[in-house]
Structure 1
Amino acid sequence: MKNLLFYSQPSHDIGHLIRSMAIVHSLTQEFRVYVVNSGGVIQDFPTLEGIEIVDLPITQTELSDSKLSVASLPIDNISDRRRKRLLELCDRIRPAAVIVERFPFEHHHLAAEIIPLLDRSKDYGAQTICSLGDIVISPTNKADYETETCQLINQYFDQILIHGDPSFISLNESFSCIRELTCDIHYTGYVVPDVDREFSPEAKTKPMILVTVGDGRLGHGLLDCVAQASQYLEDKIPHHIQIFTGPFVPMDIYRRLQAMAIHCSNLTVQRYTLDLLSYMVQADLAIGIAGYDMTLNVLQTGTRAMLLPFGGNVEPEQTRRLARLQERDILKIIEPEELDPILFSFETLAMLNRYPKPNDICLQGVKITTTLVKALVTLKKPFNLLNPTLEPLPCKDSY
């Protein structure tokens, strides 16, 4: 079995790490996988059996991130230490493939360690792959940024895997120089762990509205609004409102919501669940913050949804996806001015009378990524699994 080096950036967010590990787990069917954890140690995150994880010393940029703990090595000459550890790993495992997340579309500050890794891996005949999301957020100087990115891709990479569906969002909408890239380019579909999971039907004691705001650091106004709206909905619909505040919600907010639930027979407030998808499948309506993971959960389950843009409509990446989904009648965007309990209760009633349109957006990113990487390593040349013309072709569910 050949070796594969997967350079990961888990400091981006926990949801991103979970999606990356889903790809890694699938790749272990074909490769011995070595994961380079370049973003710092995330405490208590479960590791996968049979995968070697190499933690790099944390960078100065990441020291302020509360989710990370500083690695044991001192931070003087940190770049040299990180680069040396990467090259030692490359020499030890002689990888057949190297997958790098998002570079050079993002993380240009890590070029001093990633480029030497790519150069060294080529000495061993490795195929080099960029793993990329569906939307690129460009800096202000977009022209210079795109020119530099194209040069780096064309010089160092054999393949780009875009984890998206071009019939929904095409990369050339956010990266205009895509036709200047000379490497193999494929869309994989969105990466959804357990996408083929089957949910056993359960008898509902009461119809349910699910409310969730992720880890609880944001969305407090939405939680308050729903909790207050529950009293207006109590005698109008039979639904029970299940709120998950997230484990990091401030204690004063959690206690206030629990106090409100005592006086509302249709409201339950809990911190979190380990199986949110099961609740979503059972729910008649899901209300929440529109983070990337919540959006994919809605696509996977097909549940009616009302979502408030992450960060109050200031995240262009999330807002763009939401606008497309609302145009397709898959969900409704909650505008900040709609966070009035009475108005929100009417919006909730209206949404319960609507039926979301089924979506055909490809969610098979885990399986398709593994197929494409295996083909590239085996054939040592571009693999025409999808026509890489970069036109918005439909992404197939299986190959």
Structure 2
Amino acid sequence: MTARVFFYVQHLLGIGHLRRAATLARAMVAGGFDVLLVSGGAPVEGLDLGGARFHQLPPLRAANARLKELAQLDGTPIDEAFRAVRTRQLLDVFDTEQPDVLLTEQFPFGRTQLRFELLPLLDAAQDRASAPWIVSSVRDVLRRSASPARVDEMVATFEAFDAVLIHADPALVRLDESFPAWPDIQDRALYTGYVAEFDPARAPQGSVGKGEVIVSAGGGAVGMPLLQAAIAARPMTGLADRRWRLLVGPNVPAADEAALRAAANDGIVVEPARADFPSLLHNAALSISQAGYNTVVETLCHADRAVLVPFGTARETEQADRARVLVERGMVASVPPDTLTPESLAAAITRAWSGPSIRSFPAVDANGGPATVAALKQMLSP
């Protein structure tokens, strides 16, 4: 009998969480699992599920870039009625599925704003006569700004879980560097390697983007400052004679995209984000991007040299921490949050261009998809 996985994911601002969840869903289906991906964020067109089934909860998003308050897609704050409807739908779908594995993306180490529905979901899973394996799926870096009381709450909630899968290469980034209560969870923690959307063992094909500077900002929800700074920084760099290709994510408003096109002079291409991004990275002279998980994994797997410009706030420390670790290892250059100007970006480009190639370092473990499948199969084996 095919084992069923109930995979809960919630993206709040960008689409990286959903993209990574979809990548894992595809890997699990390829590994023989029947997967239902349950998403609580804004719908994303063209999501490749690779045979996984999909359920859309009434969508919500972050009310703003602080990622603390939640809102409906039109900006209306969520209320108790909205929470009740979502929770009831989530529990009904779970009851119908009767899964062998309940997989929660980030929770309980993140997405704590969703406790109103996730704690009842955990209760429902534990109350079943044949309880599923309850597993958390987390990135390489957790938010360091969580209070001691919130960290204690995470640990207490984790008591209901059988395991946490850490999608990272511990030779590069270790979770204990960002999670102070690591000793309380380490006996149920397993590193899988990074989750790469594209097979890291296959070299990208073609010559698209050869010798270019590729500037990207993921989905683009908070990427306009980077794209604008790149246009202004170009004349200040030793790469001003190269073609610069700016990739505009789906969350960039049309008016902002038009403004970028108007500001771009000869030698700068402004276009929508592309499915052949790994090929662009592989062929480019330099990548300039934010430091979200998916983009960094692709950069480590494919790029030659890179500048990371992490998004960050007092609350959101994850991208800055990820970039800092890679800078400390000499692999990339970075512009820390709140210091982005055309001048600071140009200086980082100079540092990256004069530094070593990412390819001169040991290859990162990006086998997270197949390793996740293997870990779940081991859990379910008699």
Which TM-score bucket, shorter chain as reference?
0.7 to 0.9
Counterpart Cα distance in 2 of 1:23 and 1:348: 33
Q: Where does residue 14 of structure 2 map in the other structure?
A: 13
Corresponding position: 1:132 with 2:135: no
Q: Where does residue 287 of structure 1 map in the other structure?
A: 288
Max Rg structure:
1
Q: Where does residue 36 of structure 1 map in the other structure?
A: 38
Deviation for aligned residue 1:375: 0.7
Q: Where does residue 378 of structure 2 map in the other structure?
A: 375
Assess, with a 3 A threshold, how the Cα gap between structure 1 residues 145 and 355 changes in structure 2: closer, same or farther: same
Letter in structure 2 aligned against 1:136:
L
Assess if the C-alpha contact under 8 Å between 2:286 and 2:303 holds in 1.
Answer: no
Corresponding position: 1:27 with 2:52: no
Assess if the C-alpha contact under 8 Å between 1:6 and 1:33 holds in 2.
Answer: yes
Q: Where does residue 65 of structure 2 map in the other structure?
A: none
The TM-score, its normalising length taken from structure 1, stands at: 0.78
The secondary structure found in structure 1 opposite 2:366 is: coil
Map 1:89-168; keep pairs closer than 5 Å.
89-122=93-126, 123-137=129-143, 141-142=147-148, 144-154=149-159, 156-168=160-172
The secondary structure found in structure 1 opposite 2:137 is: strand
The secondary structure found in structure 2 opposite 1:210 is: strand
Counterpart Cα distance in 1 of 2:111 and 2:286: 38
Map 1:151-190; keep pairs closer than 5 Å.
151-154=156-159, 156-181=160-185, 184-190=188-194
User: How many residue pairs align between the two structures?
Assistant: 368
Q: Where does residue 275 of structure 1 map in the other structure?
A: 276
- Which consecutive residues of structure 1, in runs of 5 or more, have no partner in the other structure? 380-399
Counterpart Cα distance in 2 of 1:261 and 1:370: 45
Deviation for aligned residue 1:333: 0.8
Deviations 1:2-21 (A, max 9, x none): 22211221335312101101
Deviations 1:182-226 (A, max 9, x none): 862211112111133523554579622222233344344443443
Deviation for aligned residue 1:133: 2.0
Deviation for aligned residue 1:178: 2.5
Counterpart Cα distance in 2 of 1:65 and 1:213: 21
Corresponding position: 1:208 with 2:216: no
Deviations 1:264-284 (A, max 9, x none): 3x3333343232221111101
Deviation for aligned residue 1:23: 0.7
Assess if the C-alpha contact under 8 Å between 1:209 and 1:285 holds in 2.
Answer: yes
Counterpart Cα distance in 1 of 2:151 and 2:321: 20
What is the percentage of aligned positions where both structures have the same residue? Answer: 25
Assess if the C-alpha contact under 8 Å between 2:204 and 2:282 holds in 1.
Answer: no
Deviations 1:242-277 (A, max 9, x none): 222444445565445434544x3x333334323222
Deviation for aligned residue 1:309: 2.1
Assess if the C-alpha contact under 8 Å between 2:333 and 2:348 holds in 1.
Answer: no
The TM-score, its normalising length taken from structure 2, stands at: 0.82
Counterpart Cα distance in 2 of 1:314 and 1:107: 13
Deviation for aligned residue 1:332: 0.4
Assess, with a 3 A threshold, how the Cα gap between structure 1 residues 314 and 361 changes in structure 2: closer, same or farther: farther
Letter in structure 2 aligned against 1:191:
V
- Which consecutive residues of structure 2, in runs of 5 or more, have no partner in the other structure? 62-68
Q: Where does residue 303 of structure 1 map in the other structure?
A: 304
Counterpart Cα distance in 1 of 2:276 and 2:208: 17
Assess, with a 3 A threshold, how the Cα gap between structure 1 residues 106 and 247 changes in structure 2: closer, same or farther: closer
Q: In angstroms, what is the RMSD of aligned CA positions?
A: 3.4
